[in-house]
Structure 1
Amino acid sequence: MGIGNIFKAFQPKDKVFFVLFEKVASTLVEMSKEFHDGMLEFDLNDDRLLKRMSDYEHQMDDLTHEIFIQLGENFITPFDREDINMLASGLDDIADYMYASAKYIYLYKTPPTKEFSEFSLLIYKCCIEIQSALKNLKGFHNPAEVKESCIKINSYENIADDVLSQGLVRLFESDDPINIIKIKDVLEYLEVVTDKAEDVANTIESIIIKYA
């Protein structure tokens, strides 16, 4: 490696990582918006929503892979390598479970319930706050705004717990055991998406505590 390349390798790469995280956040917002819109106007016979979720999930995989490549190529990072790894993986998990939720809705031929759209709205709100938190994380100039977004995400996750509980109570009042099993499975996948969003919020909060 030439002296110029060595010098370049040791330069800060804040822009590279933050640009990638902003792309990830933007993709999650777009994905969750389409998912929510799809739940509001759900048509089991139209699988375009599932195909779009699959496309977004692949985009997220590519972006996550690029973040890991940058970790391997650069010695200096804007914050701990372990935190970057955890944050990238956590963001990817949100997309994975969102896609899984859509997939099982179609595979099970699950009749939509009001809880589906309630969950999808909470997921969308979580992704908007993740986008805001990552934007304000850049340069560590706005820690208060980052923490506020994380608090909102935690609040949405708590609401999601209630949506799950109430949905299960209502579901178990029905007399169709097969339908109960299918819808329960989907509701639990949807709730996991909000759990993953809360995990990301916790990771971002830990980064702020270390560096802000």
Structure 2
Amino acid sequence: MSISAFFRLFQPKDKVFYTLFEKVSDNLLSMSKYMVEGMSSKENITEAFFKKIEDYEHANDKLTHNIFIELGKNFITPFDREDIHQLAASLDDIADFMYASVKYALLYKSPYLKSFATFSKYIDDSVVELQKAIYNLRDFKKPKEVLESCVEINRIENVADDLFSKEMGALFESKIEVIEIIKIKNIIEYLEDVTDKCEDAANIIESILVKYS
């Protein structure tokens, strides 16, 4: 019996952490799918759209807080306490940056770019894989599936990074006024950052997998 398997014998029967992480991933997926819908056109970027995104972000904050509370209550955890903290924080970052992307798209009233919708789709694709990875992480019974999702998230981040470079080049070559360039650049940076945050979460999950599977 491996050391990791031995320690799993003493893990609590209450799977509260797995359940909370799954709830976070569910909330993130609902948020990303709603974001795809809202960022599909300039007309959809409204106060009502932003308010719904804000609600998802607040829900994520509450779930993250619950994870931290459980860390204080449970002496034995399904995997390393630091890893639980890091994963919870990284998932919260995803919600925060989605929220920021929509907030600035609304506040800046900048020219709308088709890439806003494309980035949103990349974000949603990443969150879909992240949800799969988190559900398959439970009890470390499906390491292959977890790893496949992490690899796909990394691939999507690379595609999003290429799009970011392309959009930046086109933006600075355009004849748009400087103030509008600054606005668009800021929005695109936040959108691309979300895919970075998804990759960060995937890297943490992959690290946990290596330690315990």
TM bucket normalised to smaller: over 0.9
CA positional deviation for 1:43: 1.6
Asked if 2 retains the 8 angstrom alpha-carbon contact of 1:133 and 1:146, the reply is yes
Give the secondary structure class of the aligned counterpart of 1:77. coil
Asked if 2 retains the 8 angstrom alpha-carbon contact of 1:90 and 1:199, the reply is yes
- What pairs with 1:1-212 in structure 2 (closer than 5 Å)? 12=12, 15-43=15-43, 46-175=46-175, 176-212=177-213
CA positional deviation for 1:42: 3.2
TM-score if structure 1 supplies the norm length? 0.93
The Cα offsets for residues 57-95 of structure 1, whole Å up to 9 and x where unpaired, read as 000000000000000001010000000000000000000
Q: Distance in 2 between matches of 1:123 and 1:167?
A: 16
- The unaligned stretches of length 5 or more in structure 2 are 1-9
TM-score if structure 2 supplies the norm length? 0.92
Q: Distance in 1 between matches of 2:94 and 2:195?
A: 8
Give the secondary structure class of the aligned counterpart of 2:173. coil
Q: Distance in 1 between matches of 2:156 and 2:11?
A: 39
CA positional deviation for 1:97: 0.4
Q: Distance in 2 between matches of 1:14 and 1:110?
A: 49
CA positional deviation for 1:177: 1.0
Q: Distance in 2 between matches of 1:179 and 1:101?
A: 16
| Counterparts in 2 of 1:109 and 1:44: CA distance versus 1, 3 Å | farther
Q: What's the C-alpha RMSD, in Å, of the aligned pairs?
A: 1.3
CA positional deviation for 1:49: 1.1
Which range is displaced more, 94-103 or 110-119? 110-119
Whichever residue aligns with residue 81 of structure 2, its letter is: R
Q: Distance in 1 between matches of 2:138 and 2:118?
A: 31
Aligned length: 203
Q: Distance in 1 between matches of 2:48 and 2:111?
A: 17
| Counterparts in 2 of 1:143 and 1:11: CA distance versus 1, 3 Å | closer
Q: Distance in 2 between matches of 1:114 and 1:172?
A: 16
Runs of 4+, deviation exceeding 6 Å: none
- The unaligned stretches of length 5 or more in structure 1 are 1-9
Asked if 2 retains the 8 angstrom alpha-carbon contact of 1:44 and 1:106, the reply is no
Asked if 2 retains the 8 angstrom alpha-carbon contact of 1:20 and 1:63, the reply is yes
Asked if 1 retains the 8 angstrom alpha-carbon contact of 2:26 and 2:131, the reply is yes
